[in-house]
Amino acid sequence: MKKKVSILSLVLLLLACVPGLTNEVQAQGTEQKEFRVGMEAGYAPFNWTQNTDESGAVPIDGDKSYAGGYDVEIAKRIADKLGRKLVIVKTEWDGLPPALQSGKIDAIIAGMSPTEERKKQIDFTDVYYESNLVMVTKADSEYAKAKSLDDFSGAKVTAQLNTFHYTVINQIPGVKMQEAMDNFPAMRVALESGTIDGYVSERPEGVTAESVNPKLKMIEFTAENGFQTSPDDTAVAIGMRKGDPDVAAINEILAGISKDERLKIMDEAIENQPASEEDTGSPILKILNQNGMLFLRGTGMTMFLALAGTILGGLIGLLVGVYRTIPISDKKSKRIFQKLFGWLLNVYVEVFRGTPMIVQSAVIYYGTALLFGFDLNRTAAALFIVSINTGAYMSEIVRGGIFAVDTGQFEAAQAIGMTHGQTMRKVVVPQVLRNILPATGNEFVINIKDTSVLSIISVTELFFQGKSAAGANYMFFQTYFIICVIYFVLTFSVTRILRLVEKKLDGPQDYVPIAVEEE
């Protein structure tokens, strides 16, 4: 019993130490009206992540970072006029619509165009920014002097996934259309590495890319030689839930922001973005100086989810694994219950072993809100997802460990009158725990890496923080190299510690029996 209490206390202590978890839960009970705005916080100059509130940046919900940019300034003006408190909810691009529809955010202010396809799912306000489509290519490539779409014939071109940018690529004659990419940092990395020859973007992003990275060049086109688009495609509007009564009020507020003021806000955003800071030396040191605390918090979240998820998942796996080895009862009613419950456990194991964690995350986090109106805390939802996913794998590991114990030990325990429960507790499980320790450690290492998929529900773990930093500083290789090193240090350290624990449990390799010593 003491062991169970200590494990539970450890998990509760970990939960209490996670930044943002308790605050987020407490915030739900307050009466203050909020205006919850979703954005990537990684698409400069529209939005980005930074460490301080410099230049009017706003705190990000559930994190100690701040969001700045054009979208944030527009959101501040709207929240002020509505008389509500602005809350920035950092959300992956693909997660924005489900977050809005499930009620986790009140609006999407993230450089989103009001396309006809999107209008089927959500409502849009009037336009708050208009821009032209451009191509971003390498400054030293053969396409750097392009004047028209025809000049990109034969080029490998891509655009962001689930945007209208991707649909216009086929307007380029003879283009080699590449798979859409998840975000702009990924496209910029692909461009610098030569995987693609260019990507479709909007002018503010193109201006920023060109100004902060001399290796990139923005190509603008005349109306006749460029992409043919509708006004809705090149416009940027605020996404709202269907039938939201605030749409009319927000349209009135947007009407009060003149075109000149909007241009001024955008110019200031381009000037204030983190990537525009003067380069004072090593890119690695600059990244660490700007985002060191960001990476540290992301590392803490990653380790918390991996450790707590492995502990809870191990307990789940142990219980499920032991249950599935219980002999079938002779009593009919008990036998029916055993088979039914065993079938449910089999379904659980097969479903969570047979589907990717990223899909499970989206279904559980957004699905519970859409279907049942239950607003899960992001960190709590992430811990739940990692735990039950790990539990499904650990149940099979435990079951294999139980079957690896010599059957003679079961027979011997029964011969001296031990029940199945006593046999498992006193004879089998202690051996199983030692035998499955390497596999459990492997699950821990896997969980450290797999927490990166939780960015789909906007959990601010290490990979999500790294992607946000890369989207703001435009130094993609250097940023991801730092993240790679951190992951390696974590997994290598954990592996070494677990090996020491294994050796400690095994005891000394060389020893002299007591009987020999006495002789």
Q: Is 49 domain-assigned?
A: yes
Taking residues 377-401, report their average pLDDT: 91
H helices, E strands: number in the chain:
22, 13
Poorest-pLDDT segment among 143-157, 438-452, 468-482: 468-482
Q: Is 15 domain-assigned?
A: no
Q: Is 233 domain-assigned?
A: no
Q: Is 311 domain-assigned?
A: yes
Taking residues 380-402, report their average pLDDT: 91
| Residue 322 and residue 418 share a domain | yes
Number of domains in the chain: 3
Residue 486 has pLDDT above 50, yes or no: yes
What is the pLDDT, as a whole number, of residue 20?
44
What is the pLDDT, as a whole number, of residue 458?
80
**CATH, residue 63:** 3.40.190.10
> Which of 228, 256, 276 marks a domain boundary?
276
**CATH, residue 355:** 1.10.3720.10
| Residue 141 and residue 121 share a domain | no
| Residue 247 and residue 112 share a domain | yes
Residue 277 has pLDDT above 80, yes or no: no
| Residue 214 and residue 181 share a domain | yes
| Residue 264 and residue 292 share a domain | no
What is the pLDDT, as a whole number, of residue 513?
59
Which tops the pLDDT comparison, 434 or 99? Answer: 99
| Residue 317 and residue 180 share a domain | no
Report residue 467 as tokens. Answer: 């992607």
- Tell me how far apart the alpha carbons of residues 201 and 45 are, in angstroms, rounded to a whole number: 12
Residue 289 has pLDDT above 80, yes or no: yes
- Tell me how far apart the alpha carbons of residues 447 and 454 are, in angstroms, rounded to a whole number: 11
**pTM for the whole thing?**
0.71
What is the pLDDT, as a whole number, of residue 393?
93
Residue 8 has pLDDT above 70, yes or no: no
| Residue 196 and residue 51 share a domain | no
Percent above pLDDT 90 for the chain? 45
- Tell me how far apart the alpha carbons of residues 135 and 152 are, in angstroms, rounded to a whole number: 10
| Exposure of 311 in the CB half-sphere (CA atoms within 13 A) | 17
| Residue 342 and residue 418 share a domain | yes
Predicted confidence band of residue 24 (pLDDT cuts 50, 70, 90): very low
Predicted confidence band of residue 30 (pLDDT cuts 50, 70, 90): very low
Closest CA to 28 of 87, 68, 99, 76: 87
pLDDT in tens, 215-226: 899 999 998 999
Structural domain of 469? 286-507
